[in-house]
A and B are shown apart, each in its own frame.
Chain A
Amino acid sequence: MTHERDLDHMLDRWMDDGPTVVADRVIAAAMTDVHTTRQRDARWAPLKELFI
């Protein structure tokens, strides 16, 4: 039987494993997309914020 505390402990440790740094090319690619992406009109923003 896996106790709740043991499961918490295992999940905490397991989640700490793994990469923590994103490749610069990912941000660079996103910024290229940003350059050609229009921001949403702020007048519609309060309604939109409810859904995102």
Chain B
Amino acid sequence: VDQELVTRAQRGDESAFADIAYAIGDRLFTVAHRILRDIDLAEDATQQAIVAIWRELPGLRDPARFEAWSYRVVVNACYAQARAERRRSSSLRVLETDHSSGDPQLSVAGRDQLERGFRRLPPEQRAVLVLQHYLDLTLPQIAELLGVPTGTVRSRLHYARRAMRAALEADARPALSGSRPS
């Protein structure tokens, strides 16, 4: 994003901010969707994040940090959406998984296992997985982006990866737990 646009938007220029919003909308939405795994929730988080970015923009001291800062705002919007969604539905929501597209080398079963495992993670753990695997950020970069210590990121990643591995392995051996040979 052009830093001149950011500076103008910081001074209240809505037209400059509209250019920014259209420029960053796709990447905010893409990250929100990877965290929330739901298009409606991701759209709500994106809208909420754009408004929060506008509201808080005067507080951004270094316009060069705009991109990382905007990711932090959308991650926080995802946390809020996930909390609101949890309050709305106490029962497990059946979400459709689109298998019509995607990497053909990743099997449908593999995607289902990842989807199920990921949905069980708290949003804070989902976010670090997305930042590491989708945005290819390092642990210190994730820590800086989220404003938490590197140790916290490492811990969240550890538990998230352990849960994902468990989900994959549990689904890989369904016969062992349920049936006994006669």
The number of residues on chain A lying at the interface, defined by a beta carbon within 8 Å of a beta carbon of chain B, is: 40
Tell me the complex Cα distance, A46–B28, Å: 24
Name the A residues within 8 Å of B28 (CB-CB).
22
Q: Is B14 positioned at the interface, with any CB of A under 8 Å from its CB? A: yes
- Scan residues 1-38 of chain B and give those whose CB is less than 8 A from a CB of chain A: 10, 12, 14, 17-18, 21-22, 25-26, 28-30, 33-34
A51 CB to nearest chain B CB (Å) = 8
Secondary structure dominating the interface of B: helix
Residue of B nearest to A14 (CB): B114
A18 CA to B168 CA, complexed, in Å:
20
Could you list which residues of chain B lie within 8 angstroms of chain A, going by C-beta atoms? 10, 12, 14, 17-18, 21-22, 25-26, 28-30, 33-34, 39, 43, 46-47, 50-52, 54-61, 72-73, 76, 101-103, 105-106, 110-111, 114, 129-130, 133-134, 147, 161, 164-165, 168-169
- Chain A residues in the interface with B (C-beta under 8 A): 1-2, 4, 7-8, 10-23, 26-27, 29-31, 33-35, 37-42, 44-46, 48-50, 52
